[in-house]
Amino acid sequence: MQRENHPAGPGRCQVDGSPQAAVGDWVWLNVADLQLLIDALRHDGRRVVGPQVADAAVVYRDLERAADLPRGWIDEQDGGHYRLRRDEAAGVFDHVVGPHSLKNFLFPARETIGRFLREDGTWRQLDDLPPEPPLAVIGVRACDLAGLAIQDRVFLGGESVDPGYRRRRESLFLVAVNCRRAAATCFCHSTGCGPAVSAGFDLALTERDGRFACEVGSERGAAVLATVSAATSLLACSHDEVSAARGQPAALEQAMHARQEEAGQPKPRSLNTEGIRDLLFDNLEHPRWEEVASRCLSCTNCTLVCPTCFCSSVGEVADLSGDAVERERHWASCFTLDHARMHGTSVRSSTASRYRQWLTHKLAGWIDQFGTSGCTGCGRCITWCPVGIDITEEVAAIRDTAGQKESPA
């Protein structure tokens, strides 16, 4: 690997055959090097997934060829609106977040968590759940890393640790990407979750002028980069190039703060998080809950696309003989009647009570439960809500008229 003027000091900046890139180093990757990166990750036995165009959206799928990355695709997002369009000037990662997140892989929508066999009238639990290869995800954004940190608290914090999540999380390899553009639905700048990738990655890419400034974030990242550099010569980023790469998401963040509402343009969004826990808990009888319920379809989309929602149900599926049973966990949503069913009835029978539960739990109850808000500002719930209900708008409406109460019927 060739290095030049590296901020870590000239003593480590040598030509090929020198010590490999270390944590904190930056090197340049060309577009063609992305295939070497994928190959290096796969060579180590990992399953690699990355963003690809499928079903008219950019989604995470198994990735073998760098050519399948969504180069030249831009997404347009707004409340209840998602469209892809070609832009030949767009880079490899100029789309923003799609409906998938890391949740789809670490906490899959449907998962077998136990298998049981009846032999001679006695049930026995089998302990041979199918092994899963370690996972590498390419293209993860800052808000996704924030969502992962929140789910870590849910699944790994406290006394109850989820074994499947822990297994996948421990071997997870993350190639993050700094966003170069924000969708109208993004508000990570106001939740403190983006757009700059700052921690929690193995490698982080900043796309610049048709190549990628790659920051090494972990020893595992350095090891994978060493495999890449065995196949091609990698050039170290200069001090000025590192500064410029760091400045790119910082400039985007400034632009997001400066966004103004303009005629004919999608509405810019932000979430005022000041005192939000008390604001919501103090306004449980606010008339806005009924107003939003008049638009909400209780379709559950917002909870399915949210990278932090974690509710699940467990059921058992028997084979035709009745002697083999699989225990299956699948995503659940607080928007369904079943979610709050107790003693034969639902304690949240109205849409208003279910929307209030979702929003107050995510933005207020989580702070008590997990020491963090449950919202990263990714905007997915706004984009994928079929009627365009906007979490930032709902909070703002309550803040603007705090203290109002629904009149008793």
Residues in contact with ligand SF4 by CB under 6 A are 296-302, 305-308, 335, 362, 375-381, 385-387, 389, 391
Closest to ligand SF4 by CB, 214 or 385: 385
Closest to ligand SF4 by CB, 93 or 384: 384
CB 381 → ligand SF4: shortest distance, Å? 3
CB 379 → ligand SF4: shortest distance, Å? 5
Cβ(38)–Cβ(63) under 8 Å? yes
CB 283 → ligand SF4: shortest distance, Å? 18
Q: What is the DSSP letter of 2?
A: B
Closest to ligand SF4 by CB, 203 or 292: 292
**Residues 206, 93: Cα–Cα separation, whole Å:** 9
CB 116 → ligand SF4: shortest distance, Å? 35
CB 192 → ligand SF4: shortest distance, Å? 13
Distances, alpha carbon 73 to alpha carbons 143, 243, 284, 316, 380, in Å: 20, 27, 42, 42, 18
Q: What is the dihedral of CA 112, 117, 121, 124, to 10 degrees?
A: -80
Closest to ligand SF4 by CB, 90 or 143: 143
Please list the residues that pair with 224 across neighbouring strands: none
- Could you give the 3-state DSSP secondary structure of residue 176? strand
Scored b (16 or more CB within 10 A) or e, 183-203 reads bbbbbbbbbebbbbbbebbbb
CB 392 → ligand SF4: shortest distance, Å? 8
Please list the residues that pair with 49 across neighbouring strands: 62, 137
**Residues 151, 149: Cα–Cα separation, whole Å:** 6
Residue 352, H or E segment:
helix 351-360
Token couple for 160:
């109850």
Q: Of 381, 326, 316, 331, nearest to 355 (Cα)?
A: 381
Closest to ligand SF4 by CB, 6 or 189: 189
Q: Of 30, 41, 34, nearest to 66 (Cα)?
A: 34
Name the E strands within 225-320. Answer: 235-236, 312-318
Token couple for 176:
């993050």
Closest to ligand SF4 by CB, 145 or 203: 145
Closest to ligand SF4 by CB, 223 or 299: 299
CB 205 → ligand SF4: shortest distance, Å? 22
Q: What is the DSSP letter of 284?
A: T
Closest to ligand SF4 by CB, 212 or 366: 366
CB 73 → ligand SF4: shortest distance, Å? 21
